[in-house]
Structure 1
Amino acid sequence: MTTILKLTQNEPASLDVDAVVVGVLPGPTPAPGAAGVDEALGGRLAEALKAVGATGKAGEVHKLPTLGALPAAVIVAAGLGEEPTTETLRRASGAAVRALAGAGKVALALPAADADAASAVATGALLGNYAFARYRTGEQPETVGEFLLAAPADAADRVAEDTAIAEAVTLVRDLVNTPPSHLSPEDLADVADRVAKASGLAVEILDEKALVDGGYGGIVGVGQGSVNPPRLVRLAYSHPEADKNVVFVGKGITFDTGGISIKPAEGMDWMKSDMGGAGAVLGALQAIAALKPKVNVIGYLAIAENMPSGTAQRPSDVLTMYGGKTVEVLNTDAEGRLVMADALVRSAEDAPHLLVDVATLTGAALVALGVRLTGVMANDDDVRTKIVAAAEAVGEPAWGMPLPEELRKGFDSPVADIANIPSERWGGMLAAGIFLKEFVPDGVRWAHLDIAGPAYNKGEPYGYTPKGGTGAATRTLVRLARDVADGNL
C-alpha cells in the first residue's frame, strides 16, 4: 500500500493528528519546527524532554503525552545531534516513524525550512514506514497511514520525486524479502515485465532456450542445476532529447546454495537476498521512468538460481561466455560474477557512456567494510570518486576501493582464458572486481558496486533502515542517472 504524504503550511501543533514529530538538539533544546508545539506546552517542551531523559543525541527517540495541550495525543521527539545533516534528518524521521507504527495520521514538524531539508524528512518518513507482512496470517505489523509534513509549498515537486524513489525502494525491499519458494528466476522476470509495462519501459526477456541459443554461457551454467531455469531481462528507459546511454547490470541470484561448492547451513538462510543487485536495478529503472531525466538508461537483470544437482555445473567445468571468452569454474559459489559477465559483455551493444554493475558479490566485502558500507571499484578514478560522493549524498554510505593489477595473475587458468576465482584467497572483494573488469567493453567507463553488506540487514532496524531487505543501491543508481543527465558524470 502506498504511503500518503502531504505538505502543509499550517502549524503542526494545531493539526488533528495522532502524533507530532519534533526534533531535539543537545541541551535538550527543541529544534526549529517545534516552536508551535513548545508554545502549546506553555514553553515547557525542553523541561519535559529533560524529564524523560532526552539529550538530543542523534538516534534518540522519546515519546511525550500531550495531556490535551494540543489535538495530537503524543509528541515524538527525535534526537538530531550537534550539527544535523540531511542524513541526520532522514534517520531521525525514520526512527520516529518506526516508533509510531500503527498511527493513523502523523504530523512531521522536524526542521524542513527548505527543499533539501523537506526532502530529507520526507525520505526518512517514507522509508522508515515499512513492514513486510505478505506471509503473516496472524497479527500484522503496522505502519503509519498518512503524513502531514510542515514544509514550504515550493518543496512539493521535490517531495513528489522522493515519493517515487521511496516506492521503488519499497519494491526492492519486498523482492529481497520474498522467499525463494515464491521468487524463482521466472517469477522475478515476470515482476520486471509488470513493472516495465506499468512504467512505460521497453522490456526484453530471454528464457533458457534463448540464452543457450545466444551463447550466454555464464547465466546458463549457473542456472543449469536448478529446476527453475534462468532468465536475462533487459529494461530500457528512453528520453527523446538524450544523447547519452547509462547501463546498469544487476546480479539476480534468487537463491544461492553455492551449488556443488555448497555453503554451510549457517550462511545459507539469508541467501534469498542474493538478487539484491538485480532488484536495485529494477527499482532504479522504475523510479527513473517516473522522474524522466534527460538520459537513456538500460538495465540488465542477470537472473538464476544456484542449486546443486545432477545437472549442476561442476568445479573444473569450462563455460563459454557471451562474446566467446572461456572461464574455468573452480568454485561454483563464485557464481554471481559469471552471470554478470554475460550482461557486461552484452552491454557493449548499448554503447554506454557509463556502465555500473551492482551485486551482493563477496563475503570479503563484509569482512573489509562491515554491513553498512558499499564497496566501489572502477576503471576510472574520477568515476569512482563521483559514485562514492553520489552514494553518500543520498544516504547510502560507500567507500572507494582499488583494483590492484597484480591480482589478475591469480586468475590464470591452464585450460581456459580465465578462472572464476584466484589462486590466493586474499583481497576477495577486489579480486572479484578484477574478474568483472575482464568483461567490460573496451573504452567504457565502468564501476562495480559490492552491496553484500548493506543489501540485507540481519540486525535490528535503525534510522529508516528496516530489518531484512533494505533496497540498498537503488537510490544511488537513480542519482547516477540524474548526474549523467545533468552533465556531472
Structure 2
Amino acid sequence: MINSSDLKLTAVSTDIKRIGAGALVLGVVKGTDGPVLVASPFSVKVTETLQDSLTALGVTGKADELVRFAANAEMKADILVLVGLGSFEESTLSDEALRRAAGSAARQLTGVNTILFALPAATLSQAAAVAEGITFGAYHFNNHRSTPATKLPLSEAIIATAASADKDLPAALKRAAILGRAVRATRDLVNTAPNVLYPESFAQEVKDTTKGAGLKVTIIDEKKLEKDGYGGLMGVGGGSVRKPRMVKVEYSPAKATKHLALVGKGITFDTGGISIKPAAGMHAMKSDMAGAATVFQTVTAIAALDLPIKVTGWLCLAENMPGGAATRPGDVITMFGGKTVEVLNTDAEGRLVMGDGLAAASLEKPDALIDIATLTGAQMVALGLRTAGIMGDDTLRDAVVTAATRAGEGAWAMPLPEELRATIDSQVADLANIGERMGGMMTAAVFLNEFVGEVDGVKIPWAHMDIAGPAFNESAPFGYTHKNGTGSSVRTLVALAEEMSAAK
C-alpha cells in the first residue's frame, strides 16, 4: 500500500555552470509591471535577453505556471523551466510561496530523473522550504494499475542556494526528506481502494511498515474491543464483515520529558450506515480514514527525526456499512469508559470511534491530547476546502494553529460555544450523537470533548482538528498538492511536536 519511493536531496552553491541535470528550474514573479525573472544564475547579458522575452513567450509568473524552453549555452541541463511564484516582490517571497513553486515544478515535471532548482533560496529557511516543496510535489500513485507508470517523478533534486555552506543545512534537508516521505505515505494510504485498505489490512500495514523504526505497535482486534467495552468502534463497525481494529503506535524515547497523544479517525469506508449517504460522490469516502493515516505517519516521522518527546498514536479503524448487524438510528451504545450514546444518525459515526480513542488515550494521562478527523461537512461549509478547523482548549488550540502557520498549512481557530452542549442531550442516554445543525463542526467537537479525561481533577489539554476539506482534493492539482489524498496536517503535527519537545 505504501509505495512511494525515496528522493535524494543535495544542495550546491549558486554557481551552477558545471552542474548537469535533466532540467533547470528558475522562478518568475508576477510583478506590477509584468513578469520578473528572479535569482538568475546566468550572465547579465543572457539574463537580460531572457527577461526581455518573457512577455512575448507568454510567461506571466502566476502561481503554478510552468513553461519549458530549450537549454542555452550557459547551462548543462537538458531543458530550462520557468515556474511561477505568484504576485510577490522578490524581497517579500514567503517560505510557503517557495514551497509551492518548487512543489509545483516537481509535480509537473514527470519523466525527468534529476532536476536542478535555482529558485531564490538565499537563506537556510528558504532552502528548507524549497526542499520540502520538492518532496511533497514528487509523487505519483500507480498501485492499482496493471502496467507501471511510464513517467515517474524525479528521483534526485539539487538545490542551488547561497546557504549551501550553512552547517544546519544537512539537518534541514534530512527533515524535508522525512516530512516528504510521511506526507507521500499518508497519500498512499488515503488513495488506496477500500477493498484493499480496511481495518484489518490497515492494522497489518502499520505493523509491517514500522519494523525497525523504533516503534511499538499494539493491535486490538474485535474480540478484545468487545471485551474491553469499545462500544463506539464495535457499534460503527457492526454492519461490516470487515471488523474494526484499534491500533496503538507508540514512540517512547528514553530522553522524553513530555507525552503527546494523537487520535485519528480511521473509517476505511463510510456509506453512512443505515442513514446511508447519496450515491453521488460516495467513492470519495475511502478518504474517511485520513485522520488515522495522518496520525500513523506523524508518529513515524517524529521517530525518524529522533525528537525527545513521547508520542502515542491511536488509530480508530472501522468500516461503516448498512449490514444486518449495523447500528440503527435509535440504538443506545456504551462507549469505552462507560458513557452511553443514543445514535440518532449512523452517518455521524466518526465521533463515536473517536470518543473511544479519546477515552482510551486519556487513561495514559498525556501532557496534550489531539484528535484529527475528516469529521464534518460543516467544516467545509465554514472554512472551505483548504483550511482545517481547530477547536478545544484555547492554549493548545492556538498552539496547533501557530504550528500550522509555521508549517505552511491552513488552519483556523474556532470556538466551542457553551450553548451547543445542550443540543446533544438525549432523552434516554447520556448523550446523543448529533445536535444543532447550525455550527455542526463545533457541535461535533463539543461531543468529542465529553470523552477527554482528567488528571487530578483537571481536564487534559485537548485540541480537535477537522480536516474534512483539506485531506482530499477532488479538484485540480495545485502547488505541491496532487489530486485525491493530500497528506494534510502531518507537517502541522510534526511542527507542534518539535515545539513541545523544545519548550522548557
Shorter chain as denominator, the TM-score bin is: over 0.9
> What is the rounded CA distance, in whole Å, between the counterparts of 1:42 and 1:406 in structure 2?
62
Alignment of 1:143-158 (within 5 A): 143-151=153-161, 152-154=164-166, 155-158=169-172
> What is the rounded CA distance, in whole Å, between the counterparts of 1:232 and 1:477 in structure 2?
21
Partner in structure 1 of residue 478 of structure 2: 462
Whether contact under 8 Å (2:266, 2:315) holds in the other structure is yes
1:346 maps to amino acid: A
Whether contact under 8 Å (1:23, 1:31) holds in the other structure is yes
User: Within the alignment, does 1:359 sit opposite 2:402 as a pair?
Assistant: no
TM-score scaled by structure 2?
0.93
Q: Post-superposition shift, 1:148?
A: 0.9
Partner in structure 2 of residue 428 of structure 1: 440
Partner in structure 2 of residue 299 of structure 1: 313
Whether contact under 8 Å (2:363, 2:453) holds in the other structure is no
Name which of 140, 149, 156 aligns with 1:131: 140
User: Within the alignment, does 1:331 sit opposite 2:340 as a pair?
Assistant: no
Q: Post-superposition shift, 1:238?
A: 1.1
Q: Post-superposition shift, 1:126?
A: 1.0
Cα deviations across residues 305-336 of structure 1 (Å, max 9, x unaligned)? 00001011111111111110000111110000
Partner in structure 1 of residue 8 of structure 2: 4
> What is the rounded CA distance, in whole Å, between the counterparts of 2:317 and 2:172 in structure 1?
34
2:60 maps to amino acid: T
Partner in structure 2 of residue 404 of structure 1: 417
Whether contact under 8 Å (1:260, 1:314) holds in the other structure is yes
User: Within the alignment, does 1:483 sit opposite 2:487 as a pair?
Assistant: no
User: Within the alignment, does 1:243 sit opposite 2:248 as a pair?
Assistant: no
1:153 is paired with a residue whose SS is coil
User: Within the alignment, does 1:89 sit opposite 2:98 as a pair?
Assistant: yes
Q: Post-superposition shift, 1:75?
A: 1.5
Partner in structure 2 of residue 28 of structure 1: 35
Q: Post-superposition shift, 1:50?
A: 2.7
> What is the rounded CA distance, in whole Å, between the counterparts of 2:247 and 2:17 in structure 1?
50
Partner in structure 2 of residue 51 of structure 1: 56
2:403 is paired with a residue whose SS is helix
1:199 is paired with a residue whose SS is coil
Partner in structure 2 of residue 416 of structure 1: 429
Name which of 76, 82, 94 aligns with 1:77: 82
1:433 is paired with a residue whose SS is helix
Name which of 56, 63, 69 aligns with 1:64: 69
Whether contact under 8 Å (1:177, 1:468) holds in the other structure is yes
Whether contact under 8 Å (2:400, 2:493) holds in the other structure is no
1:269 is paired with a residue whose SS is helix
Partner in structure 2 of residue 221 of structure 1: 235
Whether contact under 8 Å (2:375, 2:467) holds in the other structure is yes
For structure 1, which segment, 60-69 or 93-102, has the greater mean C-alpha deviation from structure 2 after superposition?
Answer: 60-69
Name which of 215, 229, 236 aligns with 1:201: 215
Runs (4+) off by over 4 Å: none
> What is the rounded CA distance, in whole Å, between the counterparts of 1:329 and 1:278 in structure 2?
23
Partner in structure 1 of residue 22 of structure 2: 18
Q: Post-superposition shift, 1:382?
A: 2.2
Whether contact under 8 Å (2:142, 2:148) holds in the other structure is no
Cα deviations across residues 329-376 of structure 1 (Å, max 9, x unaligned)? 111100000001011011122211110000000011111111111000
Whether contact under 8 Å (1:373, 1:454) holds in the other structure is yes
Q: Name the Cα RMSD after superposition.
A: 1.5
Partner in structure 2 of residue 383 of structure 1: 396
> What is the rounded CA distance, in whole Å, between the counterparts of 1:44 and 1:199 in structure 2?
52
1:332 maps to amino acid: T
Name which of 256, 259, 265 aligns with 2:273: 259
For structure 1, which segment, 37-46 or 56-65, has the greater mean C-alpha deviation from structure 2 after superposition?
Answer: 37-46
Q: Post-superposition shift, 1:38?
A: 4.9
TM-score scaled by structure 1?
0.96
> What is the rounded CA distance, in whole Å, between the counterparts of 1:163 and 1:139 in structure 2?
24
Alignment of 1:105-144 (within 5 A): 105-138=114-147, 140=149, 141-144=151-154
CA, structure 1 residues 224+10, in 2 after alignment: closer, same or farther (shift >3 Å)?
same
Name which of 440, 445, 453 aligns with 2:469: 453
Partner in structure 1 of residue 206 of structure 2: 192
Unpaired stretches in structure 1, ≥5 consecutive residues: none
Whether contact under 8 Å (2:106, 2:134) holds in the other structure is yes
> What is the rounded CA distance, in whole Å, between the counterparts of 2:146 and 2:72 in structure 1?
36
Q: Post-superposition shift, 1:76?
A: 1.3
Partner in structure 2 of residue 37 of structure 1: 42
Whether contact under 8 Å (2:250, 2:311) holds in the other structure is yes
Cα deviations across residues 90-145 of structure 1 (Å, max 9, x unaligned)? 00101112231111211010122221101100011111111101112246252112
> What is the rounded CA distance, in whole Å, between the counterparts of 1:369 and 1:245 in structure 2?
30
> What is the rounded CA distance, in whole Å, between the counterparts of 2:406 and 2:56 in structure 1?
36
Q: Post-superposition shift, 1:269?
A: 1.1
Whether contact under 8 Å (1:13, 1:20) holds in the other structure is no
Cα deviations across residues 252-311 of structure 1 (Å, max 9, x unaligned)? 000000001000001311000000000000010110001111111111000000000101
